[in-house]
């Protein structure tokens, strides 16, 4: 890999809208706030889900963990349409390995779930997701590396493995 990132993901759900998750990720000494809306997955394993991100100060996370609210965070444009309070669900740890692959960055995630299971997931974010999937699946098949499309994202697996769903 050309790089490695240790990540700690904390998950919160707002009172509205439905199918929205708020994630605060610790990575490289900083915090990244992400709001993900409801999405879809096609039969090939391609996920499409709206996402907004912003680097935030640590005080916002402390307030969220203490009270489920943070006035500054709730006023941030990334949180537009997200209704308080935010309920804290828990966290999971992830190690992300970065690889160059053609014109994309391939991310190989080693995720550690609350039930003790470890899952490996290969991810590429691309405008032309179908082409990226075609190229990486050919590359894996040529090397006889077994793979299968994801049926659930990290958050959905987190809910199941935490006994929350």
From 33, 38, 39, select the one nearest 76 (Cα to Cα): 33
Structure confidence by residue, pLDDT tens digits, 10-41: 999 999 999 999 999 999 999 999 999 887 77
From residue 128, give the alpha-carbon distance in Å to each of 9, 26, 46, 48, 132.
27, 29, 11, 12, 6
Cα 102 to the center of its chain, rounded Å? 23
Confidence of residue 48 (pLDDT cuts 50, 70, 90): confident
From 149, 153, 150, 93, select the one nearest 117 (Cα to Cα): 93
Q: How many CB atoms lie within 10 A of CB 45?
A: 14
Is a pLDDT exceeding 90 seen at residue 44?
no
Average pLDDT over residues 46-75: 89
Confidence of residue 42 (pLDDT cuts 50, 70, 90): confident
The structure's pTM equals 0.90
Predicted local confidence at residue 68, as pLDDT: 76
């Amino acid at each position: 890999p050309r790089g490695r990132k240790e990540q700690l993901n904390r998950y919160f759900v707002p009172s509205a809208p439905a199918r929205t998750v708020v994630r605060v990720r610790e990575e490289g000494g900083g915090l990244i706030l992400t709001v993900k809306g409801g999405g879809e997955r096609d039969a090939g394993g391609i996920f499409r889900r709206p996402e907004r991100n912003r680097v935030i100060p640590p005080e916002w996370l402390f307030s969220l963990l203490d009270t489920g609210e943070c006035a500054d965070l709730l006023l941030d444009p990334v949180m537009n349409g997200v209704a308080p309070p935010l309920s804290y669900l828990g966290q999971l740890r992830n190690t992300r390995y970065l690889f160059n692959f053609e014109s994309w960055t391939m991310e190989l995630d080693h995720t550690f779930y609350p039930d003790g299971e470890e899952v490996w997931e290969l991810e590429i974010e691309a405008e032309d997701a179908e082409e990226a999937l075609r190229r990486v699946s050919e590359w894996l098949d040529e090397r006889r590396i077994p793979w299968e499309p994801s049926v659930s994202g990290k958050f959905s697996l987190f809910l199941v493995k935490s006994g929350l769903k």
